[in-house]
Amino acid sequence: MTTTAIELDHLTKTYGARRGLAGLSMQVRAGEVFGYLGPNGAGKSTTIRLLLDLIRPTSGTARVLGLDPRTDAVALHRRLGYLAGDFVVDGRQRAGECLTFLGNLRGGVPAARITELADRLELDLNARIKSLSKGNRQKVGLVQAFMHRPELLILDEPTSGLDPLVQQTFLDMVTEAKDDGRTVFMSSHIMSEVEAVADRVAIIREGELVALDTVADLRARSFLTVRITFAAPVAATEFADLDGVTVQETEGSTLTFRVDGSPDALVKAAARHTVTGLRADTQDLEELFYAYYTGAAATA
């Protein structure tokens, strides 16, 4: 088995004058959960469609499970589980009939496996698909992606329309797939959706990769917001020369600081005065994600 599940080398896709991807290069390791993040329109779905040979690249190459998505498409698709961002199937079928049909196309999936996943996701297999809500149709998509225990799962906005409890069940399924040695490539525009399960995260902006790291290392790049209330007003200039400390706001005897790195110097400087209140908040990873997207931290 290859140690690299996905390898992109200067992958580029343009749509006339519009750019979908611009020289994207990265690797997804076999057996990891890889979060692929970016707002709508950033190039996530374009990447996935290129991996599946649903569209062709303008330039550059992609290898999936060591195979060429174009010349080895039949062999490759047998080893994949895929959930499209716009999952659509025949609405006249019942959910169970649809899943059995899709399973038979793959050579057969045990009925017990389909029932097990449907029960976990609280999907009614007897309901006609056209009568289902968006969230319940998404459950059908999740079952068909997971039911044959594929070597690689490629999931495009997989929790769209799901309620929070079902989202947690989905994350449990992802963790189980990883524990079984399988690879999960999961696109999303919601950082919090993937941080609990992802080994690494890539952030894409306007078709370009702006960050690729572990969740732990991304979190290490975040900053503290420290709000200190003193017994009497303190001049902000007292903290101006502290490394990694920026005064963000002064309101009466309360000062708010941004701290990049250790807060030790700030705490020692504040201790020269009587402190009546202190609150420190870590930057949310969602905020860090948007900082990358807007460019504020693109070179961090």
Above 60 in pLDDT, residue 128?
A: yes
CA distance 296 to 300: 9
pLDDT given for residue 295 in this prediction: 61
Let me know if residue 138 belongs to a domain. yes
Count of domains for the chain: 2
What pLDDT band is residue 285 in, cutting at 50, 70 and 90?
A: low
Of 219, 241, 270, the domain-final residue: 219
Q: Which domain holds residue 106?
A: 4-219
Q: Which pTM does this prediction carry?
A: 0.79
Higher pLDDT, 155 or 87: 155
pLDDT given for residue 85 in this prediction: 83
Above 90 in pLDDT, residue 160?
A: no
Let me know if residue 152 belongs to a domain. yes
pLDDT digits (tens, 9 = 90+) for 210-256: 889 888 787 777 788 999 999 999 999 999 999 999 999 999 999 99
- What integer is the mean pLDDT of 198-211? 90
Other Cβ atoms closer than 10 A to 240: 10
pLDDT given for residue 8 in this prediction: 96
CA distance 89 to 272: 67
pLDDT given for residue 294 in this prediction: 67
pLDDT given for residue 297 in this prediction: 45
**Are 215 and 227 found together in one domain?**
no
pLDDT given for residue 254 in this prediction: 96
Largest CA distance in the chain: 75
pLDDT given for residue 79 in this prediction: 94
**Are 23 and 105 found together in one domain?**
yes
Locate 226 and state its tokens.
């420290």
What pLDDT band is residue 129 in, cutting at 50, 70 and 90?
A: very high
The amino acid sitting at 113 is R
Let me know if residue 295 belongs to a domain. no
Q: What is the mean pLDDT of the chain?
A: 89
- What integer is the mean pLDDT of 173-198? 89
pLDDT digits (tens, 9 = 90+) for 15-69: 877 778 889 999 999 999 999 988 878 899 999 999 999 999 999 999 999 999 9
**How far is CA 111 from its chain centroid?**
31
**Are 238 and 104 found together in one domain?**
no
**Are 214 and 231 found together in one domain?**
no
Candidates 147, 145, 146, 121; CA nearest to 133 is: 121
Above 60 in pLDDT, residue 153?
A: yes
Locate 165 and state its tokens.
């409890």
What pLDDT band is residue 106 in, cutting at 50, 70 and 90?
A: confident
pLDDT digits (tens, 9 = 90+) for 96-105: 999 999 999 8
**Are 155 and 8 found together in one domain?**
yes
Let me know if residue 298 belongs to a domain. no
**Are 64 and 129 found together in one domain?**
yes
**Are 61 and 10 found together in one domain?**
yes
The CATH number of residue 12's host domain is: 3.40.50.300
What pLDDT band is residue 300 in, cutting at 50, 70 and 90?
A: very low
Whether residue 162 contacts residue 135, with contact meaning beta carbons closer than 8 Å, is answered with yes
